[in-house]
Amino acid sequence: MAPRECLKAEVLGLPVHLTPHLLSAAEALVRSGGHVVTLNAEMTMAARNHAPLRRVIQRAELVIPDGAGVVWALRLQGHRLRRQPGIDLAEMLLDHAAARGWRVAWVGARDDRLQAAARFWKRRHPQLRLQRLIHGYQPPDHWPMVEADLRRQQPELVFVGLGAPRQELWIDKARPLGHGLWLGVGGSFDVWSGSVRRAPTLMQALQLEWFYRLLQEPGRWPRILQLPVFSGHVLMEWAAARFSGSRRKPARQRPAAGRTGESAAECPPVERRADKPPEVGPG
Ligand code: UDP
């Protein structure tokens, strides 16, 4: 079977690509160029009220289910899947970048944390080509220079950690078409710097990473209030679909996109199967 299984689902009108071959799909985008969005409930709600963000997510080449709320909404539609946290994808891509000599640029976070994150990755992969480290607190008139520099350099990987939705809007504006994978990584540089800790594995497995973050950063609680609103919208949409008889069939009963000729714009190309069984993906 060709490794092209990918299904494009929707959560509150936003696309989500469901692929068990996430790393392969992302690798293909390194060559063809693409924006990877890591979708969670907060971003979904922000996009409902912000048309430019909605359009950016709709035209991104790959949108992955990063948040527990998005995974829950998709399961309600009958899809079988697991979370695909953006930070896990970012780490897999950096491992590959080191092995393949890809040039990497990082944009975002406080300078001291960005440098500490770079030291962490250099210890892990001394050969990693971290070509640009651009902190996220530039004066406004510096950003056009940053954009021009990245368009000129054309690194294979550009990670942007400016927080959502700013990072998504900026990626859409800054990236050149046709080259390099641009990924919004949120607070990943803070994690790699050792300043912020990820939830223990058990909490991740219980879909409680957001709660662990809230304990570390209580200032995030107003953002968490979006979660019940998101759940309400999802349930209303689910009930409307169910009672109008148009509820989606479970993913496993639907043909895979690659076999029905869905366009590459709908499902990113997958050039080869990952070397090992998928770390993330439909469960
Ligand atoms: N940040 C930045 N410049 C800014 C505001 C924020 O570089 O003007 C960084 C911040 O230092 C942090 C990241 O953006 O590293 C946001 O992290 P957060 O975990 O809040 O991301 P989100 O959950 O919004 O994706």
Q: pLDDT at position 24, please?
A: 94
Count of structural domains, the chain? 1
Mean pLDDT, consecutive 10-residue segments, the chain of 283 residues?
70 96 94 96 96 97 96 95 95 98 98 98 98 98 97 97 97 93 97 94 87 87 88 94 66 37 53 39 35
The pTM of the full predicted model, rounded to 2 decimals, is: 0.87
Ligand 1 centroid–CA 204 distance in Å is 21
Q: Which of 157, 153, 163, 148 is nearest to 183 (CA)?
A: 157
Q: 69 CB under 6 A from ligand 1?
A: no
- CA angle in degrees (0–180, nearest 5) for 82-11-245: 105
Ligand 1 atom index nearest CA of 110: 11
| Mean pLDDT, all residues of the chain | 87
Which residue has its alpha carbon closest to ligand 1 atom 6? 162
Going from the Cα of 90 to the center of ligand 1, the distance in angstroms, rounded, reads 16
C-alpha 200 to ligand 1 mean position (Å): 21
**Å from CA of 187 to ligand 1 middle:** 5
The domain in which residue 100 lies consists of 32-236+249-258
Residue 14 forms part of a structural domain: no
CA 62 to ligand 1 centroid distance, Å: 21
- Residue 46 located in a structural domain: yes
Residue 4 belongs to a domain: no
Q: Is 184 in the pocket of ligand 1 (CB under 6 A)?
A: no
> What does the pLDDT read at residue 223?
83
pLDDT at 140: 96
Does ligand 1 lie within 6 Å of residue 234's CB atom? Answer: no
- Of ligand 1's atoms, which has the minimum distance to the CA of residue 185? 25
Best of 162, 210, 213 to mutate for ligand 1, by most ligand atoms within 8 A of CB? 162
pLDDT digits (tens, 9 = 90+) for 87-98: 999 999 999 999
Is there a domain that residue 131 lies in? yes
Q: Is the dihedral of CA 203, 209, 96, 99 positive or negative?
A: negative
Q: Is 189 in the pocket of ligand 1 (CB under 6 A)?
A: yes
Tell me, yes or no, whether 205 lies in a domain: yes
Is residue 169 a part of any domain in this protein? yes
What distances in angstroms separate CA 214 from CA 196, 210, 221, one per listed residue?
11, 6, 7
Exposure string for 87-103, b = 16+ CB within 10 A, e = fewer: bbbbbbbbebbbeeebb
Domain assignment present for 41? yes
Q: Is 5 part of a structural domain of the chain?
A: no
For ligand 1, say whether the CB of 108 is within 6 Å of any of its atoms: yes
Q: Would you give the DSSP letter of residue 244?
A: T
Residue 30 CA to ligand 1 center (angstroms) comes to 24
pLDDT of the residue at 38: 98
Amino acid at residue number 72: W
Lookup result for tokens 């693409």: 34
Residue 224, pLDDT score = 83
pLDDT per residue as tens digits for the range 247-282: 555 444 343 333 333 333 467 766 544 333 333 333
Cα 162 to averaged position of ligand 1 atoms, centre (Å):
4
